[in-house]
Structure 1
Amino acid sequence: MCYQLHQKNRFSLFSTDEPRIGFILGTGPSLTQQQIEAIAPYRKFGANLTYRLGVDVALGCNWQFWDTYYSDAVKHGGMLWTTRKESAEKYEKLNYIEERWEPGLSVDQNYVCAHHGSGPQVLNLAYHYGVRVFCLLGWDMRYPGKVTDRRYNGLRHYFGEYPKHLQHWPKTGDNGEFTGLIKEMETIRPKDYGIKIINCTEGSALKCFPMMSLSRFLSEYQNDLEWYTG
């Protein structure tokens, strides 16, 4: 089974003296090219199509996603992950990690907490890699311009709409917010893990973590991030 070939040292990424700061990319439409360029030198983790943005680690939890995009994803480099064993057995460069339905974050490197989505799963995966300061970008956690649960006047994803077989239409709140996923994220209490999670997504519906602009985050962590730029 191919996924077994990737178990040894599978969370090796950071150098010994490297700052444990990770930029965790979602696919919300608030993400901008300017932001992507600003974080280009640093460690990046992302969900689904963010593999196109030069992330070090990308995770997709949906087997249909990998059937559609695997051949493209391997061209972009980066480490690829899934919580679907059948996909990891099918695709040689796809790493597998188990998902379990538990609150919070898993501190056991054998699994991540499921939380109904690739975003929270890749955040947990980044924790396993050693990230201790997390900067969230593209975590809109809402679809703009809600008319009905299947109709929105705004762009739903940074990369545009998925093919029909990959489109997901969750029930959302009055303003298009992901009420179910937000409740899942609220079970993650950073102090329990000795970490910081900062949401730098403008207009995000996710309010359970401190929020600030990306420019302020880069300023506050400038001394640490100079490790990458000298």
Structure 2
Amino acid sequence: MFLIIGRYIHNFFTELGGLSHLLWRIISNLRHLHHDRKLFTEQAVRLGYDSIPLVLLVGIFTGAVSAWQANYQFEGYIPIKYLGSAVYKAVVIELSPVLTGLVIAGRVSASIAAELGSMKVTEQIDALESLAINPIRFLVLPRFAANTFMMPVLVIFAAFIAILGGFIVANLFMGLSSTTFFSEIPRHFYLYDLFVCLSKAFTFGAITSLVGCYIGFNTEGGAEGVGKATIKAFVWSSILILMADYILATLLF
């Protein structure tokens, strides 16, 4: 049992070292990003804009569930007029960044790993290197930058939709008017909440794209290896998002 645990720990830190090395290579190529605006825009549309319907679906149900749970907790203890601010706090600080990050991990990180993994096993990446084309600059950097940039946008969008979903539930099933639901939100709004939300979104966006690129670049074993890489990218992204969420909560609160 100890050997198995030790092997998992060794593999974890080995992969973490590989991710750190890839991140350093990305940072060293950032100066080229303004030359590759077309690649960045293409990836921003594919990874960010095309994810909006999924984020919309997740956001509205997140807000709806938050409203039900808050109403249950408030019953008999806290005035119902604070329901809107409770949904706002829960959604902006925690639920919107984390759930959007996990959804993007399933959609984007796995997609990047599959795409780059297919290029790796078919030796397309080796062909680029043989032509003196930097694969980090042309394959990794646009995806990393686009996803890191688009994630805060998606999270803010998800937060607004979630608050709207909470209001719909509160209005239809609890009889709260828009005035009652939204009246307390400005009183409990702090810019620091937005800072925490965007910090988490930025971090989770970097994690999902970095993991997808790293696993895709290290894929081997043909079509079966690509399938395993897709699953691995989603699992690793999800684990690292939850770990990063805990670390950020410890540092920011």
Name the structure where strand makes up a greater proportion of residues: 1
Relative to its length, the structure with more helix (as a share) is: 2
Q: Which has the larger radius of gyration?
A: 2
Q: TM-score, length-normalised on structure 2?
A: 0.23
Q: Which has the higher contact order (CA 8 A, sep 6+)?
A: 2
